[in-house]
Amino acid sequence: MRNVGHSTAQSVAPLIGIVDDDQSVRDSISSLVRSTGFRSATFESAEAILNSESRYEADCLILDVRMPGLSGLGLQSRLAEVKCTTPIIFITAHSSEELRDQALRRGAIAFLGKPFGEEALLSAIQSALELSGLEDEGEEHVRNGPSKPS
């Protein structure tokens, strides 16, 4: 996860970290972001990403709100404690106005209820990458959209 003052080589596609306890959700989002040219790293829990070397590389994080162990909101708090500036997008099947407000107040870029559309997620990723200083890469990938199978 990025800290203030990070820099990314222009030739490397942005890395999107996906943290969700549901394997099918991780796979689906990973496929979507890879189809637009981004790289992805998936994690089954907040603890898994915290224990991973990849935690320092993510340009954007997509976090499930409710997971066993440390929740997505708990992970957001933990990251704030260590001054991590990686933009966060929350996804949840258990949305409430209170959770949404809490996540956004703490700096989340978006709070999307499951199921959400591809365009909503890609738009949130673009906003996150703009905050990371990677707006050119994000805009190009989102503008081109997912690759179409041949």
Residue 1 pLDDT exceeds 90:
no
All structural domains of the chain, each given as residue ranges with its CATH number in brackets, are 15-143 (3.40.50.2300)
Beta bridge partner(s), residue 60: 16
Phi, psi of 57 (to 5 degrees): -105, -20
> What pLDDT is attached to residue 93?
93
- Contacts with 127 (C-beta within 8 Å, 6 or more apart), sequence order: 87, 109, 110
Q: Please compute, for residue 111, the number of CA atoms within 13 A of its CA located in the half-sphere on the CB side.
A: 20
Cis omega (within 30 of 0) for bond into 149: no
> What pLDDT is attached to residue 140?
47
Residue 77 pLDDT exceeds 80:
yes
Measured at the alpha carbon of residue 120, what is the angle toward residues 62 and 86, in degrees to the nearest 5? 30
Q: What is the pTM of this model?
A: 0.84
